[in-house]
Structure 1
């Protein structure tokens, strides 16, 4: 069977390039490469033999899969889906096998011409990233005549191509918060690339290649929408299962805590509401107060040469520039991950996926072939895609335009050299701009940046997410009035209340400075006393440690007074790379953490892969419910080479007396015993007489119920309250719909914590908490009252938690905890805590 296929003309008419189609999705090549026909006949014929794998319910479009695997989309007219099927008569059904020249759809050419923007019929190969297209016809063609377009499957022996595997499909409801915007689309792209299969997502009669982030976003799929996944190829079944799981795995969009008001991003913005006090209003993207000097960032668009220096020269330049930017963004991802800046890492990870988008790249290459320069072509491809997203009337997708602009700026800079650098910021700079991209924000000196004010944008865009992660007070959607602020003037910003005072009086400035100084003085006071031990009022010592991901955060933990490291997550060593880290690399990273702790101990958790922690190169099977599948220590036991490498690296650390190894997702005693035996065996092989302490995470109810058995063989127990709450309440902790109900102060969770402590005490073991509950100041007295003696929180929170501990009477905490255990709901628990806090009990 030949891997080369030549299409016949499906209609009589005039052949035109895709760039002539008055629709940026098709014109930009986002649905695939191909051509268009201005029709003169009214019966659509099959351009080749194959199977009908998709037929639009409105009858205006269908897709054929040919014997060589090419998927040929035939789309009659532009925006004809809006006709609701009027004027179209399908003559075949999905699943039908057709021969070349067979009538597929009859359509009323005159009626449609009166109601549709255009009759241009598009012929595109939706999986053109796996095909080579050549010998495209031009000018007039006759329906049924051969020679319209030649398609060859890449990497397939031309003489003998294997038969395509049977196609399969299924539907799923999208669980990602905000739908398929940039980051969920990048996640789906990553899933699609793991399989030897063609994956398409269908929604509202439109299909998109799952390997194309831009095509997926163009579908306009919202949270809760149901989509159909079509899979074909050698690994179709496995790919389908993985894609369905990925669609149904909830991820957070990074919204502001409150409902975000988003200003339009395509038109001038006016203030959200007129204020009578002379202040300028806006939307809080990140809370905080600041007084500083206005620095205006002008967004001057670079002037580009429209015409290029020849197709081959410009294509080569574009390829080099994309590779250069891809390398730079990958470095941004790695550096952010190394710092533990997970929000920043995820955002640039989405940019990496956009750079790898075949349809966006094909659109730019198409414009280069039309004679444009590489820079002009890439800008045009980006702008077309931006227009599509803006036209979808979806605020979250509209905010992703900033990500596309960021890529445009970086690729053009790679082609033409960097634009003039920004002048150095003064101390306490309040940066004001029309809009800002994530890469521009991360390149501003944090130590000089007091606040950020944007005329446009919204509280859900990636810059806003970064500002919250970096604790930069920020207003967005503040309107064009902020662009008229005088450079160098002093302003007062209260982002939490949503305003900026452009001309504060001396009295106002004094009050603002006093408030800011008061907050800072309290933080300074807490920091000064943070290094001292945390004892309750009745003299009981509580260890307050830090959750970290690397040596830099270990040093930060020491500066904030942490008593040690309560949790070092080693996933950062394994993520965002194509292969596992070498044993030497793992040892060096963990030794650097120990060295930074100045004699303190470190609890280092073995790799917690699986579930919501994807490590692409590990052969983890697709799972319907990853949270209940192969994850945590199960992954390590299933892949002993990976676990052994990590254990050997940890056993090589010095001194071992300051190391504590923690095992994630333990469910019963046998798992602990297997790892304990393996550590002993490896230590003997390495000639070690000393063993580090070995602890287990209590994250599932079975571990809490068996705490007494586990404590007999473990040196300590550490409770991961995030997962323990999730598994106890049977609520996905990634689900936005359940976020308000996922409360670790649920009495069932409190009873499991109490049971864990009681079981540990029978063997003289201590119990710590490294989940988010330890950072909740309202929960600290509860945990102490239940018998927890170690709390592990983010480095910056250590002073606050220690101060809280020093104000508590442990005897009172124990009495209160017993009362809380008798409550029937988390609301009752919190109400009782509030009464105790106000002294009304």
Structure 2
């Protein structure tokens, strides 16, 4: 009789066998995750080593776990440190819950991509619940694909005769994510939980959700600022708990951008008039063009008497196809599309969601066709999200609808070959992120939806692409015939449906003028920015990598005004060493040719956390251990970074900037450390050392700080929130955290005056530098450098050339006595209009 306690594991790949202790990862080599074998692969498809059920499938596709008939759980992990690829290069061929046979293909992977970007291709096969199983090796040397490698026998006993420890840890956290735990934050929590062995549950309002399931987490309806309980059970429960608490309490960059979206994106719906439909502005702009419809999938009838096995396979195939398509879209995203990447990551996670898949598979088991089963499962979850009374969570049902449509097209064999007229206004009941990615390949002028919301993922993507977008227009929109000439005025929240030829021509002239203006600005971007009376203002760029620096140079940057070095440190399991840091900094200097580069030392804490350096939970993180304060607590981290910075060449083009300085003694201490390290390295001429002015204390001490600093750069984002006592990530206060507040202007003036007394120059690297309305104010107060986002370099330089520095000085002094930021902004609008009119009038007189 067969022994049901024993199974044979066959080689999932061909290649040399590697002793487990030689795998270049301590978690694997120490058998922390279990005993087993490792293979250096020679083929690009991972096969099932035995029959079993897929009980875990990493969102990123690089790892999965099979449960065999004897209860053994076999972890298959492709490569070392491959999670950092975030799914690029991995195409799962199975889904969570699938029953697979021995030798069935599981995952296809890009060997070249993994080899180039990861530590190693070595793939491990481990028994992750090993204490109850005995292993016997059957093969050594080279593994032939499908050859017997291990015999695994269930012993019925745990290690040392004791049950496996199930330690637990629990704690509370307040949700910092804008809008609560919707798709992207839920995906972040799921990703964090998957990095640990422990099982994690989130509890809220006497209900709980497994963190494996995005829809279960979203279904709790957790809003921004709500307190949740996290419960982790397993061998690394305490570490998992700390990581999850940090994930709950830390809003992502993309969410902060969404929270700070222009106020026009939330404009209330105006009153309708004849020949006009009204809606809510989701992305500003003006456009005109013919109407083009984009419709969803229609399901064929279903008799409810289908073969479950065939329908399960059909769904598996469709899910794999959609995963591959999303992965392809992800890998082809241009630089700077972090929001789009985060949305696609959430969609990949939803495709593996156990709640969705379980619901769909239950319908299939009852004889329902795969298309109807998937559609019903999505509809159920959409109804849950829309019933929670949270507008943002209701809008996240759009992500589920997107996946519903994509999978249905794969199931029904529908392809989307769009034939759109040039410069079309695309109209739909509700567009999805995948719709927008598809439309990116066409010449589209604007978007208009009958439903949708101003904070939806489509709205975020539309703003990033500069596409005017109107939502919540109503069902009357869908009654308009294709080809109808439309004027989309998203700024005013209206769609003009009966525009005459004169109005269409007027809008076309406006759009063309704006396009030509941008082209002229970009053509002149490589020239210096000089005011009409001869003052040169450097316009630099804020970047996070050498690639972004190269792009900034191409856009006309006079230098790098802020390199955020912390991006080298985050989203990784270990800290970068001195060699890696030096190489990264040198690459930025090399990318900028002969132009200067300001590198800010590591600025973490607050809203930026390090996985390998857990910081204590703080009631108010932005007032806690962050910036230079971390360098004081962990001096070895700062010393390592300073040594790396001192070794880049040439030193005269490198400038070091310290964040969150509040005392003169802090600056003196760091300068002494820098001098000592330079002496140890034998460096005679070292980089300049500057201070980031981002707390009121630093602005008030500017004259004293300037005695010891070589330059200042004002971080207006943090300076605003600390001065106004308003959290810049608070959605309800976002519109009021305005750096043009008179109090902020007084601190900027004080900083410039203090610097001038010691011959130091002052730059601005916060968001205010990118606001053309603020350019005359900053120049007038004494700022010599503006560091902006790269696409705005041409526009800001053009603005500088329109100004007279002496007039700016007189103008800015008058602003200090105004009563509010709104009053300052109105005065700036009037001044800018006057400044632009003067050169135009002078040019007309010369003709």
TM-score, length-scaled by structure 1: 0.68
Q: Equivalent residue for 2:687? A: 692
After TM superposition, the structure 1 = structure 2 runs for residues 54-203 of structure 1, keeping only pairs within 5 Å, are 160-161=162-163, 176-189=177-190, 200-203=201-204
Q: Equivalent residue for 2:221? A: 220
Q: Equivalent residue for 1:767? A: 762
After TM superposition, the structure 1 = structure 2 runs for residues 552-701 of structure 1, keeping only pairs within 5 Å, are 553-577=548-572, 593-597=588-592, 599-635=594-630, 638=633, 650=645, 653-669=648-664, 671-672=666-667, 676=671, 690-701=685-696
Q: Secondary structure at the match of 2:506?
A: helix
Task: Report the CA distance shift for 1:304/1:199 in structure 2 as closer, same or farther (over 3 A).
Answer: farther
Question: Separation in 2 of the partners of 1:677 and 1:329?
Answer: 50
Residue 318 of structure 1, CA deviation: 8.5
1:404 to 400, 405, 427: 400
Residue 718 of structure 1, CA deviation: 0.8
TM-score, length-scaled by structure 2: 0.67
Question: Separation in 1 of the partners of 2:362 and 2:163?
Answer: 28
Residue 460 of structure 1, CA deviation: 1.8
Q: Is the 8 A contact 2:265 2:283 kept in 1?
A: no
Q: Equivalent residue for 2:534? A: 539
Q: Is the 8 A contact 2:243 2:614 kept in 1?
A: no
Question: Separation in 2 of the partners of 1:625 and 1:196?
Answer: 30
After TM superposition, the structure 1 = structure 2 runs for residues 358-397 of structure 1, keeping only pairs within 5 Å, are 358-363=354-359, 379-397=375-393
Question: Separation in 2 of the partners of 1:428 and 1:587?
Answer: 47
Task: Report the CA distance shift for 1:479/1:168 in structure 2 as closer, same or farther (over 3 A).
Answer: closer
Per-residue CA distance 1:489-546 (angstroms, 9 max, x = gap): 6543322233344564332332222222233343344444444333334322221222
Q: Is the 8 A contact 2:296 2:405 kept in 1?
A: no
- Could you say what the CA RMSD is over the residues aligned between the two structures, in angstroms? 4.7
Q: Equivalent residue for 1:750? A: 745
Q: Equivalent residue for 1:291? A: 288
Task: Report the CA distance shift for 1:425/1:824 in structure 2 as closer, same or farther (over 3 A).
Answer: closer
Task: Report the CA distance shift for 1:443/1:540 in structure 2 as closer, same or farther (over 3 A).
Answer: same
The count of aligned residue pairs is 677
Per-residue CA distance 1:58-98 (angstroms, 9 max, x = gap): xxxxxxxxxxxxxxxxxxxxxxxxxxxxxxxxxxxxxxxxx
- When structure 1 is superposed on structure 2, of 712-721 and 591-600 the one drifting more is 591-600
Residue 560 of structure 1, CA deviation: 4.4
Q: Is the 8 A contact 2:265 2:281 kept in 1?
A: no
Task: Report the CA distance shift for 1:800/1:585 in structure 2 as closer, same or farther (over 3 A).
Answer: same
Residue 721 of structure 1, CA deviation: 0.8
Task: Report the CA distance shift for 1:317/1:652 in structure 2 as closer, same or farther (over 3 A).
Answer: farther
Q: Is the 8 A contact 2:267 2:281 kept in 1?
A: no
Task: Report the CA distance shift for 1:566/1:207 in structure 2 as closer, same or farther (over 3 A).
Answer: same
Question: Separation in 2 of the partners of 1:783 and 1:496?
Answer: 27
Residue 771 of structure 1, CA deviation: 0.6
Question: Separation in 2 of the partners of 1:294 and 1:369?
Answer: 43
Question: Separation in 2 of the partners of 1:373 and 1:591?
Answer: 58
Q: Equivalent residue for 1:18? A: none
Q: Secondary structure at the match of 1:309?
A: helix
Question: Separation in 1 of the partners of 2:368 and 2:678?
Answer: 64
Q: Secondary structure at the match of 2:503?
A: helix
Residue 383 of structure 1, CA deviation: 3.3
After TM superposition, the structure 1 = structure 2 runs for residues 253-268 of structure 1, keeping only pairs within 5 Å, are 254=259, 257-258=263-264, 260=266
Task: Report the CA distance shift for 1:187/1:423 in structure 2 as closer, same or farther (over 3 A).
Answer: closer
Per-residue CA distance 1:750-791 (angstroms, 9 max, x = gap): 333233223323432211001112233443333223221111
Q: Equivalent residue for 1:276? A: 274
Question: Separation in 2 of the partners of 1:605 and 1:418?
Answer: 52
Q: Secondary structure at the match of 1:623?
A: coil
Question: Separation in 2 of the partners of 1:275 and 1:825?
Answer: 35
Per-residue CA distance 1:83-122 (angstroms, 9 max, x = gap): xxxxxxxxxxxxxxxxxxxxxxxxxxxxxxxxxxxxxxxx
Question: Separation in 2 of the partners of 1:578 and 1:327?
Answer: 23
Q: Equivalent residue for 2:8? A: none
Residue 366 of structure 1, CA deviation: 5.4
Residue 330 of structure 1, CA deviation: 6.6
Question: Separation in 2 of the partners of 1:155 and 1:594?
Answer: 60
Question: Separation in 1 of the partners of 2:489 and 2:819?
Answer: 40
Q: Secondary structure at the match of 1:496?
A: helix
Residue 463 of structure 1, CA deviation: 0.3
Instruction: Specify every segment of 5 or more residues in structure 2 that has no aligned partner in the other structure, as ranges.
Output: 1-54, 56-127, 130-153, 835-847
1:513 to 508, 533, 545: 508
Q: Is the 8 A contact 1:715 1:765 kept in 2?
A: yes
2:340 to 324, 328, 344: 344
Q: Secondary structure at the match of 1:538?
A: coil
Q: Is the 8 A contact 2:312 2:370 kept in 1?
A: no
Instruction: Specify every segment of 5 or more residues in structure 1 that has no aligned partner in the other structure, as ranges.
Output: 1-28, 30-128, 131-151, 264-271
Q: Equivalent residue for 1:805? A: 800
Task: Report the CA distance shift for 1:826/1:484 in structure 2 as closer, same or farther (over 3 A).
Answer: closer
Question: Separation in 2 of the partners of 1:838 and 1:504?
Answer: 29
Residue 389 of structure 1, CA deviation: 1.5
